[in-house]
Chains A and B, each alone.
Chain A
Amino acid sequence: MEDYNFNLPKQTHDIFSVMARGNFISSNGSKDGMNRLYDIINNPENFDRLQAYFNVIRYNIERGNNFFYFSKLNEPNSEIEKKLERFERYIDIIDLFASMDNKITIGSRFRPGEIAEECNANVRLKQKLQKIPLYRSETLHNKVREICDLMSRDSFLEMEDEKTESYKVLDSYTYLLDVINSVAIYEDSGMNSDDAQGLIYN
Chain B
Amino acid sequence: MSLQVNVKDLLSNLYHNRGVVELLFGQRDQVTVNELLGREDITEEQYRKLISLDILTEYENVVSLNDSVVAMFEDFMEIGEVTPGFINDYIYELKRHINFYQEAREMRFLRSIKKYLKRINATLTREIIKLQKNVDDTYKNESNYRIKLQKLEDYREKRDTIIDFIKKTSDIVEETRNLFNITNDTELFGIVSVLKASLIENLDFLIEIQTDITDFINKIQFQLDVYKKAQRLKEVKDHGTLHFKTNFREIVGNINTLKHNGHKTPKTKIPVDFLYTDDGHVLCKRIAEKYKITRLMVRGLADKMAGNFKDKGLEQQIKLDTEKLVERFLVQSKLNLFEYLMEYKFPKAIGTVTFEERLSLFVEIAMEYQTVMDFKYRLQYHDYEDADKNKKRLGYTLILPIKEKEKKEKTK
Contact = CB atoms under 8 A, between A and B. Distances in A.
Interface in A125-184: 154, 175, 177, 179-184
Contacts of A80: 249, 252-253
B246 A180 contact: no
Interface stretch (A1-9, A39-47, A96-104): A96-104
Interface in A58-104: 62, 69-72, 77-80, 82-84, 86-88, 91-92, 94-95, 97-99, 101-103
Contact of A183 (B228, B233, B258): B233
Given A22-B257, A77-B256, A193 B262 contact: no
B255 A179 contact: yes
Contacts of A182: 251
A30 interface: no
Contacts of A99: 231
A83 B257 CA distance: 10
A95 B248 contact: no
A186 B229 CA distance: 13
B231 A77 contact: no
Interface bin, chain A: 35 or more
B226 interface: yes
A62 B256 contact: yes
Contacts of A175: 257
Given A20-B266, A91-B233, A181-B229, A69 B255 contact: no
Contact of B233 (A185, A186, A197): A185
Interface string B219-245: 000110111111111101101011111
Interface bin, chain B: 35 or more
A101 B237 CA distance: 22
A79 B252 CA distance: 10
Interface stretch (B54-62, B137-145, B181-189, B379-387): B137-145
B137 to A, nearest CB: 13
A82 B259 CA distance: 11
B247 interface: yes
A186 B231 contact: no
Nearest to B148: A103
A180 B226 contact: yes
B230 to A, nearest CB: 4
B230 A94 contact: yes
Contacts of B228: 98
A98 B256 CA distance: 25
Interface string A8-24: 00000000010111110
A62 B230 CA distance: 24
Contacts of A94: 227, 230
Contacts of B256: 62, 71-72, 77
Nearest to B239: A193
A121 interface: no
B265 A193 contact: no
A185 B247 CA distance: 7
B239 A95 contact: no
Contacts of B246: 183-186
Contacts of A21: 258-259, 265
A200 B246 CA distance: 10
B263 interface: yes
A108 B77 CA distance: 28
Contacts of B260: 22, 79, 82-83, 86-87
Interface string B138-169: 00100111000000000000000000000000
Contact of B251 (A78, A97, A179, A201): A179
Interface string B344-358: 000000000000000
Interface of B: 140, 143-145, 222-223, 225-234, 236-237, 239, 241-249, 251-263, 265-266
22 contacts: A20-B265, A21-B258, A22-B263, A62-B256, A62-B257, A72-B263, A77-B256, A79-B262, A83-B253, A83-B255, A83-B261, A91-B237, A92-B237, A95-B233, A95-B234, A181-B226, A183-B247, A185-B232, A185-B236, A185-B245, A186-B247, A201-B244
Given A62-B256, A62-B257, A82-B260, 13 more contacts: A72-B263, A77-B255, A97-B227, A98-B227, A98-B228, A98-B230, A177-B222, A177-B223, A181-B226, A185-B246, A186-B247, A193-B239, A197-B245
